[in-house]
Structure 1
Amino acid sequence: MARYVFVTWDGGGNRMPTIAIARALLQRGHDVRVLGHDSQAAAYRAAGLRFTAYASAPGFVLDPRPAGMLRLFTDRGLADDTLSQLAAGPADVVVVDCMLFAVLDVLDRMEQRFAVLEHTMHGFLTPGFRALGAMVWPRGLRVGRPRTHAVPIVVASVPGLAAPFPPQPALSASPGAVVYAGAMSRARADAAPTEPTVVVSLSTFRFAGLAETWRRVLDAVDGLDARVVATLGPAMSPREVAAPRGVEVHQWMPHDELLPRASLLVGHGGHGTTLAALAHGVPVLALPLDATSDQPRMGRAVARAGVGVTMSRRAEPTEIRRAIGAALGDRAMRDRARRLGEAVRRLDGPARAASVLELSASASR
């Protein structure tokens, strides 16, 4: 049995990968603990995981503005809490969210064996980290070095959005190894939908423009000759949306119940939601909400691969409706998404991530 501590933050898109991998290790008989914000406690405990909240960040509420995110990622209090957690109970491997620079830095300095968990496509992060490195250097943090010395870097994503994928090397926990684990959502291929079905799922965070984007999308699907299912998430209340007649509105509904029967996902380009749709073989229309995140890059990647389209969240409802209609009628796009879904499902993300983390723990003994 190996001992793992996952160190995370309340970021929405990083929740599913962390829970999926931690549960996979737990089911293999390992000792697994999670350290995160108190706002995450219910979700992690409901997943059967031992959870401890940061002592230094009670009553956490995410500030999604760039300055707020930078304060979070460089918060030395989270690093101190991590050291306290390890003093109370050592770990063979600490699995750290890729954005927690202060935690990565302190573990690297103390030569504690750790792995980095990335929750978007690896190629999106590399140039961004170079820019962030210059921003955090005056704070005494080293962004590049902890990533280089991680053993390994576990990417909860795929090596591209076109199938077949390039051949993947054998699993490795050597310093700096980058391991694409795959999608973390449960996915399956169902028969073709009995009727055209559009799933609308935007961000779980209330980015600027979220409510207006919901209005535009719902106006676009008004009277559409298709079943339309909208899942609002915690950022929106049903009272805030004027859903047209015939649109099914849910506060929350599991994607693995909706996506197997979907024809198209309309989303914000978030990595988790987008990859979940593609894992089911469902094309995507991305309307990025936050220019500083991976959402615009994810949208462009989807369009380049021909498994969806992207457009401005400020597009008029008539433009969005036209794009939805074109995607529903594009058989070639559906075929490319179906082939990509088959390739994603073959990776078996949580099991692959758990296996490489077991290699990392073995090497630490």
Structure 2
Amino acid sequence: MPEILFVTWDGGGNLPPALGLATELARRGHQVRFLGHEANRRPVQAAGFEHEAYATARPFSSLAPGSPLAQLAMFGDRGMGRDLLDSLRRSPADLVVVDCLLFGAMEALRESGTRYVVLEHLYDAYLRGPWLRGPLGVGMRVRRLRPTRSLAGAAATLVATLPELDAGSRAPHATALDFIGPVVPPLGPRPEAREPAVLISLSTYAFPGMTGRLQSLLDAAGDLEARVVATTGPAIDPAGLRPAANTEVHRYVPHAEVMPAMSLVVGHGGHGTTMQALAHDLPVLVMPMHPFLDQPMVGASVAAAGAGAVVGRSAKPAELAPALAGLLAPGPHREAAARLGAAIRARPGAANGADRIEALLRPGLRGPGPGRPSARR
């Protein structure tokens, strides 16, 4: 039976697409296991998969991400590559699926001739644009890594988004990409009669100043004639917030459970949460938490499609309140969100990604491991 190894990291929104794809592959009878940071162990095992923590790679936690230099060191960590090849020597896999940002691990796969698939959990336009051309990409090359060559060396590149939202789909290299569609959880039934309701959910990643940003949103939503559900995640202490009477604050509530009853989602522009909201036909108000990450691009694409709006992270409640009220009301933004939702539902990412991976596998033939030649050079 084919065995597939997923290689990931503790980045928050990058893990659910990998788990969704892994779950579909396991449902089809494949053996799937994960290699990642120790913090990934609990969610990976909760999904039913074996998890192996990096043995020598530098420690990293999304709750204490440190400086950009620390992130740079993690993405380019050759220790990940060594741990990955050691794992494959102990337990070979037919195929490796590697997170698109782990260039230290990716280079080890490419140089060893191990067959691998890259999973892009964000816009390809961001990865090959601001990321690779910006400070992080420059940092990879300073470390003598070859990120562009490693991306090109993959047997397949799965882009878990909608091509109509990703400007990268119009780039020359896009013909080599598989736009499988967003990997979102199964959609629950919608209540027949829904009261106006707003979900406010920022990142699980510990961005500086995020508690104050969330409080501004709660203050702005306090006068809405709507139920407000706010989730803090592990990065924000709910005890430090001052919710209004119409607001309930939770450390964690599965989005798949609450979104069917929502009318509007407010987020930081995380790709996964945004795609899940759109899959439920919900408009999105985006408050990016970091100007150099993909969040502004995600917000801009949703706004350009007419399905939401973007506000600055320093926006005050007086500025946020009319934006919330406008998106909560009826209008063309709801039709635009529904159009994108229909496109997401028509392009099921987990099923399409599993189809593409299965096309790469050959029954009874174990893929090349470390030191063994690859069929693709």
Q: TM-score range with shorter-chain normalisation?
A: over 0.9
Q: What is the distance in 2 between the residues matched to 1:214 and 1:329?
A: 22
Residues 133 and 142, structure 1, Cα contact 8 Å, conserved in 2: no
- When residues 192 and 285 of structure 1 are mapped into structure 2, their CA distance, relative to the original with a 3 A threshold, is farther
1:179 CA drift (Å): 0.9
- When residues 311 and 180 of structure 1 are mapped into structure 2, their CA distance, relative to the original with a 3 A threshold, is same
| Alignment correspondent of 2:149 | 145
Residues 58 and 77, structure 2, Cα contact 8 Å, conserved in 1: no
Q: What is the distance in 2 between the residues matched to 1:315 and 1:133?
A: 30
- When residues 364 and 333 of structure 1 are mapped into structure 2, their CA distance, relative to the original with a 3 A threshold, is farther
Q: In structure 2, what residue type is equivalent to 1:242?
A: R
Q: What is the distance in 1 between the residues matched to 2:358 and 2:132?
A: 27
- 1:81-92 equivalence runs, <5 A: 81-92=83-94
Q: What is the distance in 2 between the residues matched to 1:14 and 1:347?
A: 19
Q: What is the distance in 1 between the residues matched to 2:262 and 2:329?
A: 14
- 1:1-365 equivalence runs, <5 A: 1-57=1-57, 60-62=60-62, 63-127=65-129, 128-131=131-134, 132-161=136-165, 177-186=176-185, 187=187, 190=190, 194-362=194-362
Q: What is the distance in 2 between the residues matched to 1:244 and 1:134?
A: 45
Q: What is the distance in 1 between the residues matched to 2:71 and 2:193?
A: 40
Q: Count matched residues.
A: 354
Deviation string, structure 1 residues 205-239 (Cα, Å, up to 9, x no partner)? 12012011011011101121111111111111210
RMSD: 2.0
Which sits farther off after the overlay, 121-130 or 41-50?
A: 121-130
1:198 CA drift (Å): 0.7
Q: What is the distance in 2 between the residues matched to 1:60 and 1:125?
A: 21
1:360 CA drift (Å): 1.7
Residues 58 and 79, structure 2, Cα contact 8 Å, conserved in 1: no
Q: In structure 1, what residue type is equivalent to 2:73?
A: R
1:270 CA drift (Å): 0.8
Residues 195 and 227, structure 2, Cα contact 8 Å, conserved in 1: yes
Q: What is the distance in 2 between the residues matched to 1:194 and 1:26?
A: 35
1:188 CA drift (Å): 5.1
SS at match of 1:213: helix
1:151 CA drift (Å): 1.3
SS at match of 1:353: helix
Q: In structure 1, what residue type is equivalent to 2:94?
A: D
SS at match of 1:4: strand
Q: Give the 4+ runs in structure 1 shifted more than 4 A.
A: none
Residues 13 and 272, structure 2, Cα contact 8 Å, conserved in 1: yes
1:352 CA drift (Å): 0.8
Q: What is the distance in 1 between the residues matched to 2:318 and 2:340?
A: 29
Q: In structure 2, what residue type is equivalent to 1:155?
A: V
TM-score of the superposed pair, with normalisation by structure 2: 0.89
Deviation string, structure 1 residues 81-130 (Cα, Å, up to 9, x no partner)? 00001101111211000111011111111111000011111122111223
Deviation string, structure 1 residues 46-104 (Cα, Å, up to 9, x no partner)? 10001101111476424253111101001111110000011011112110001110111
Q: In structure 2, what residue type is equivalent to 1:214?
A: L
Q: In structure 1, what residue type is equivalent to 2:91?
A: G
Residues 189 and 281, structure 1, Cα contact 8 Å, conserved in 2: no
Residues 57 and 78, structure 2, Cα contact 8 Å, conserved in 1: no
SS at match of 1:347: coil
Deviation string, structure 1 residues 292-337 (Cα, Å, up to 9, x no partner)? 2111111111111110000101111011010011112242110110
- When residues 255 and 356 of structure 1 are mapped into structure 2, their CA distance, relative to the original with a 3 A threshold, is same
Residues 189 and 280, structure 1, Cα contact 8 Å, conserved in 2: no
Could you list the runs of 5+ residues in structure 2 that have no partner in the other structure? 368-377
TM-score of the superposed pair, with normalisation by structure 1: 0.92
| Alignment correspondent of 1:169 | none
- When residues 364 and 339 of structure 1 are mapped into structure 2, their CA distance, relative to the original with a 3 A threshold, is farther
Deviation string, structure 1 residues 243-268 (Cα, Å, up to 9, x no partner)? 11121111111111111121110111
Residues 96 and 117, structure 2, Cα contact 8 Å, conserved in 1: yes
- When residues 353 and 216 of structure 1 are mapped into structure 2, their CA distance, relative to the original with a 3 A threshold, is same
SS at match of 1:229: strand
